[in-house]
C-alpha cells in the first residue's frame, strides 16, 4: 500500500521525521509531498525544503519526495496512493484534521486518512514554534534534524529579527 504524507514542512522537524520513519515501517512506499501553497509565505523555498528532507531521510529506502499544487486527494489518486498519512499532536490538531479527513473522503472514497499519534517527546513541536525559537537565537538542535538546525541558524544570522525603529522625538512646543 502506498501512503502520501502531505504537508508544508517549513521546515521539517523531528516530529515530522518520526511520522515518516514510522510510516515507512507500515507502508510499502511513503511519498512525502510538499505542498506548493501560494497562500502561505514560507521561510524556505520548495527546493530548500525538498533538499532538507532528502538529507535527513537517506536511510529510508521506501521513501519518495515530491511536490504538489492540486487537491491532496487528486494528487494521491494520481500517485495511486490509498492512504493519506497525517500526524496528530494535541487536541487542537484533532478538529482540523478530522474536518480535512471527512472532506477528503467526500471527494474520494478510495483514499483513507490514517493518523499516527505523535511520539510523546514531539507532541509540542511544530515548524512555526521552531522558526520562532530560531528567530530569537534560541537552540533548535534538539527539535530539528542537524542540517535544518544549521540552515535555520544561517537564515536568521543573515536576517536579524530586530529592525531598529527610531524613537519618536517629543513634540516641540510651538513658539509664540
Residues that bind ligand ADP (CB under 6 A): 7-9, 13, 15-16, 19, 86-87, 89, 93, 118, 122, 125-127
Residue 124 or 150: the one with the smaller Cβ distance to ligand ADP is: 124
Catalytic residue list contains 59: no
CB of 16 to ligand ADP, least distance (A): 5
Instruction: Please state the closest distance from residue 126 (CB atom) to ligand ADP, in A.
Output: 5
How far apart are CB 31 and ligand ADP at their closest, in Å? 13
Question: Is 86 noted as a catalytic residue in this protein?
Answer: no
Three-state secondary-structure class, residue 69: coil
Q: How far apart are CA 80 and CA 6, in angstroms?
A: 14
- Comparing CB distances to ligand ADP, the nearer of 94 and 161 is 94
* Separation of alpha carbons 42 and 11, rounded Å: 9
Count CA atoms within 13 Å of residue 103 on its CB side. 10
- Catalytic status, residue 102: no
CA distances from 6 to 12, 23, 70 (A): 12, 12, 11
State the nearest-atom distance from the C-beta of 52 to ligand ADP, in Å: 12
Among residues 16, 49, 86, 131, which one is catalytic? Answer: 16
Sequence-ordered alpha helix ranges (H) in the chain: 14-26, 46-56, 72-78, 91-107, 127-135, 146-158
Please name which of 78, 72, 55 lies closest in space to residue 8, comparing C-alpha atoms: 72
Question: Is 16 a known active-site residue?
Answer: yes
Considering the candidates 79, 89, 105, 135, report the single residue annotated as catalytic. Answer: 89
Tell me which residues are annotated as active site: 16, 40, 89, 127
Amino acid at each position: 500500500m502506498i501512503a502520501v504524507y502531505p504537508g508544508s514542512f517549513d521546515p521539517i522537524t523531528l516530529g515530522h521525521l518520526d511520522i515518516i520513519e514510522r510510516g515507512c515501517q507500515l507502508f510499502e512506499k511513503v511519498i512525502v509531498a510538499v505542498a506548493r501553497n501560494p497562500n502561505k509565505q514560507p521561510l524556505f523555498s520548495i527546493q530548500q525544503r525538498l533538499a532538507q528532507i532528502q538529507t535527513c531521510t537517506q536511510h529510508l529506502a521506501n521513501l519518495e519526495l515530491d511536490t504538489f499544487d492540486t487537491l491532496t486527494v487528486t494528487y494521491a489518486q494520481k500517485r495511486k496512493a490509498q492512504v493519506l498519512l497525517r500526524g496528530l499532536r494535541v487536541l487542537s490538531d484533532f478538529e482540523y484534521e478530522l474536518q480535512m479527513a471527512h472532506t477528503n473522503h467526500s471527494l474520494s472514497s478510495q483514499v483513507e486518512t490514517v493518523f499516527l499519534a505523535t511520539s510523546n517527546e514531539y507532541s509540542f513541536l511544530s515548524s512555526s514554534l521552531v522558526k520562532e525559537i530560531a528567530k530569537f537565537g534560541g537552540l533548535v538542535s534538539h527539535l530539528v534534524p542537524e542540517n535544518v538546525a544549521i540552515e535555520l541558524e544561517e537564515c536568521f544570522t543573515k536576517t536579524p529579527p530586530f529592525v531598529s525603529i527610531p524613537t519618536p522625538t517629543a513634540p516641540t512646543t510651538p513658539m509664540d
